[in-house]
Structure 1
Amino acid sequence: MSKNIDVELKNIQKKFGSNVVVDHFNLQIEQGECVSFLGPSGCGKTTTLNMIAGFLDPDEGELIIKGKRMNGVPSNKRDLGMVFQTYSLFPHMTIFENVAYGLKLRKVPKAETAARVNKVLELVKLPHISDRYPRQLSGGQRQRIAIARALVTEPTLLLLDEPLSNLDAKLREELRDEMKRLQQEIGVTTIFVTHDQEEALYLSNRIVVLDHGKVEQIGTPWDIYNRPASEFVHTFIGKSNRMTGVVEQLYDGRMLLRTDAGFNLFGDIRDKQIAPRTNVSVYVRPEKITLHTEDRGTQDVNRAKGTVKLTSFLGAHTECEVEVGRYTVTVRIQSAAQLEPLQAGQTVYLEWKAEDVFVFPREGQDE
């Protein structure tokens, strides 16, 4: 059975002067998917969203929405809902009037307008504030109203441009939960632009990781986190410990690595073509490392002896910085698994599996 593709980007390119901001972007988004564009400032994610919205035209390539070519089609002809980080509510209008504005432009009858506005206000759990003005609402409430206004026209596509970035941490988390519930309940195809990796991992069916206008990887949150296609993706998504070294030898699906700190460790070859004597960057995530206060001599794992430098209790887990040779290795310990507090200066033993080691070639030696 063929898939229903709501959005297709075919070899999209955008330049500002001689600067290539989006470089040959290819993507298909299925009906009902939530896809995040994730990357640092200047990576091209918002420019791509603006081309999909119709605020910019691509210099090359084709943009297709619901099977129709959209190059040159104005924004108001694209059946889109869009939510910005700045809310953009009309201060002189009530909440009801703000939400109803798009329906008024479409000349929807008053009775139907009232029913649809009340329905979306129920969806965002704010039916009781329809007669208030934006100045009377909190930041979280204003953002929910902005989402309701985008949804009331029942758009083919919902575009979200960093809608949570102006909220404090707790509100951001609450509204993130609400957005996920809404997207699943309504099933509208959604594109979400963010530089926040946690938001992208939480909300998305798939993530597009961008850097300097190029697509680094497209995949599910699990794939992006656990099977990064490049060193950039690995370092941008989540926290990781980095060491440097050289590949000594390859055998039995593994590579033996010698770090610049002078100790050996094993990594899985996976699908990487890395020859012996290659200079490499070596990564292991903090949650993949097990910490012991005694040397267990476990076989078939990477092991290192270190000294505790600092511990930080963060509620559900504790982060511990351990000095291993010239490296400081961060270990994340689930609080329920920690029987007694660790002390600075205490000797500890670290273990991690070869399959949890990520290896990427590097050019030359680090300074």
Structure 2
Amino acid sequence: MTKSYDVELHQIRKRFGSTTVVDNFNLQVERGECVTFLGPSGCGKTTTLNMLAGFLEPDEGTLIIKGKPMNGVPANKRDLGMVFQTYSLFPHMTVAENVAYGLKLRKVSKSEIETRVRKVLDVVKLPHLTDRYPKQLSGGQRQRIAIARALVTEPSLLLLDEPLSNLDAKLREELREEIKRLQQEIGVTTIFVTHDQEEAMYMSDRIVVLDHGKVEQIGTPEDIYQQPATAFVHEFVGKSNGFQAVITGGDEHHWRLKTTEGMTFSAKRNDRLYNSGDEVSVYVRPEYISLEKVGSMQETAEEAGVNSISGTVKLLSFLGSFIEVIVEAGSHIITVRTNYSPIISFAEGEPVKLSWNAYQANIFPRKEA
């Protein structure tokens, strides 16, 4: 059975002058799915969103929404709801008037407008603010009203352009929970733009990681984090420890590597083929590294496929449920995240042993890093 998609982008390219800002972008979004464009500033995520919205036209490729080609179709004919980074509320209009604005443009009857405005304000949990003006609202309330205004027209596609970036950390967390609840409750297909990794992980069914206008990887939050497709994805999403190394051999399960400082490691084999002498970058997440006191009862015996090095604790940071430990190992500075325990403690200047399983390390060609 052939799947039907609410959004399709086929070989989309966009240039500004001689600079290509979106290059060969391909994506299919299923109905009700929440897909996030994630990447650093200038990676092309907002440009792509603006092409979907109709504010920009692609130089090449095809945009399809609900099965209909959208190239050349003006923004007001695309049946979209959009929420911007800035709230973009009309200051001279009440909350109810702001929310109703799109319906009035569509010539919806007055009674229908009143019903739909009341309903959507109930959905965003602000039915008591109908007569207030934007200046009388908090930042979080304004952004909820902006979301209500986008939803009241019952759009086929909801576009969110960094809608939480102007809010403080606590409010941002509360509102992202609210947006996720609304998106799932209403079932509207949503494309969300952010540079915040945690936000992308929390909100998304799938994430599109972009860099310099190119798609680096498309996958579920778990895939993006656990199985990064490129060195950029590993470095950009979450924290990573990186080592420069050379392939020295391998077997059916592992590659053997030697770092530029002479340390020997092993790493799981992946789909890429390497030859002895190939230069690679090795990455391991801080939470995958075990930290033990040198010479203590906790120190474990060496196991096959386990990498182990010694170092010295340089810095400790208590972060609630876990401790972040910065360890100096030769010329390397390694970050370790370990669960907090009042029983087991480390001190700055203390010698420690670091170890991690070869299957928890990822390697990529050096030129990619």
Q: Which amino acid aligns with 1:303?
A: S
User: What pairs up with 1:293-312 in 2 under 5 angstroms?
Assistant: 293=293, 294=296, 295-300=299-304, 301-312=306-317
- Alpha-carbon distance, 1:279 to partner: 1.1
> Normalising by the residue count of structure 2, what TM-score does the alignment of the two structures yield?
0.96
1:250-278 CA distances to partner (integer Å, 9 max, x unpaired)? 11320111112222111001212121111
- The equivalent of 1:213 in structure 2 is 213
Q: Taking structure 1 as reference, are residues 353 and 219 closer, same or farther at Cα in structure 2, changes over 3 Å only?
A: same
Q: 5+ residue gaps in structure 2?
A: none
Query: Superposition pairs for residues 177-192 of structure 1, below 5 Å?
Result: 177-192=177-192
CA distance in 2, matches of 1:69, 1:40: 29
Please give the residue correspondences for 1:245-264 in structure 2 after superposition, counting only pairs within 5 Å.
Answer: 245-264=245-264
How far apart, CA to CA, are the structure 1 residues paired with 2:73 and 2:301? 66
Equivalents in 1 of 2:110, 2:343: separation in Å? Answer: 64
CA distance in 1, matches of 2:287, 2:342: 13
Q: CA deviation at 1:114?
A: 1.2
Once the two structures are TM-superposed, the CA of residue 346 in structure 1 deviates from its matched residue by 0.8
One-letter code of the match for 1:348? V
The 2-side partners of 1:297 and 1:309 are apart by 25
What is the deviation of 1:340?
3.2
The answer for the alignment partner of 2:349 in structure 1 is 345
| Alignment partners' CA distance in 1, 2:180 and 2:70 | 28
Q: Does the residue aligned with 1:271 lie in a helix, a strand or coil?
A: coil
Distance 2:119 2:177 in 1: 19
State the distance in 2 between where 1:39 and 1:21 align. 13
Task: Give yes or no for contact 2:143–2:163 (8 Å, CA) kept in 1.
Answer: yes
CA contact (8 A) 2:103 2:153 kept: yes
SS of the aligned residue for 1:199 comes to helix
Contact 2:252–2:269 (8 Å) recurs in 1 = no
Change (3 A) 1:222 1:347: same
Tell me whether 1:89 sits opposite 2:93 in the alignment: no
Partners of 2:342 and 2:78 in 1: how far apart? 54
Question: What residue number does 2:329 align with?
Answer: 324
Residue 43, structure 1, aligned to residue 48, structure 2: no
1:98-150 deviation digits (Å, cap 9, x = unpaired): 01111111111122111111111111111111111100111111111100100
> 2:286 is matched with which residue?
286
User: Is 1:356 aligned to 2:356, yes or no?
Assistant: no
- Worse-superposed segment, 79-88 or 288-297: 288-297
Q: Which runs of 4+ in 1 moved over 3 A?
A: none
1:10-40 per-residue CA deviation (whole Å, 9 max, x = no partner) reads: 1111111111111111111110010111111
* Secondary structure of the structure 1 residue equivalent to 2:277: coil
User: Is residue 70 from structure 1 mapped to residue 65 from structure 2 by the alignment?
Assistant: no
The CA RMSD over aligned residues, in Å, is 1.3
**2:2 aligned residue:** 2
Letter in 2 for 1:9: L
- What is the rounded CA distance, in whole Å, between the counterparts of 2:168 and 2:109 in structure 1? 38
Q: Could you tell me how far 1:338 is from its partner in structure 2?
A: 5.4
Distance 2:206 2:4 in 1: 16
Q: Distance in 1 between matches of 2:257 and 2:302?
A: 19
Deviation track 1:327-367 (CA, whole Å, cap 9, x = no partner) reads 111110112x4523311111111111111101111149x9x
Question: Are 2:26 and 1:22 aligned?
Answer: no
Maintained 8 Å contact 1:261/1:327: no
Matched residues in 2 for 1:38 and 1:363: separation?
A: 23
Aligned to 1:174: 174
Are residues 1:148 and 2:148 paired? yes
For these two proteins, the number of residue pairs brought into alignment is 364
Q: In structure 1, what is the Cα distance between the partners aligned to 2:214 and 2:247?
A: 29
Task: Report which stretch shifted further, 109-118 or 184-193.
Answer: 109-118
Post-superposition CA distance 1:305-332 (Å, at most 9, x none): 1111110001111100111111111110
Q: Aligned equivalents of 1:252 and 1:62: distance in 2? A: 43
Q: Aligned partners of 1:298, 1:3: CA distance in 2, in Å?
A: 50
Counterpart position of 2:274: 274
Looking at structure 1, the residues matched to 220 and 235 of structure 2 have their Cα atoms a distance apart, in angstroms, of 17
SS of structure 2 residue aligned to 1:111: helix
Q: Alpha-carbon deviations, 1:170-198, whole Å to 9, x = none?
A: 11111011111111111100000111111
1:207 maps to amino acid: I
Work out the CA distance in 1 between the residues paired with 2:184 and 2:367. 44
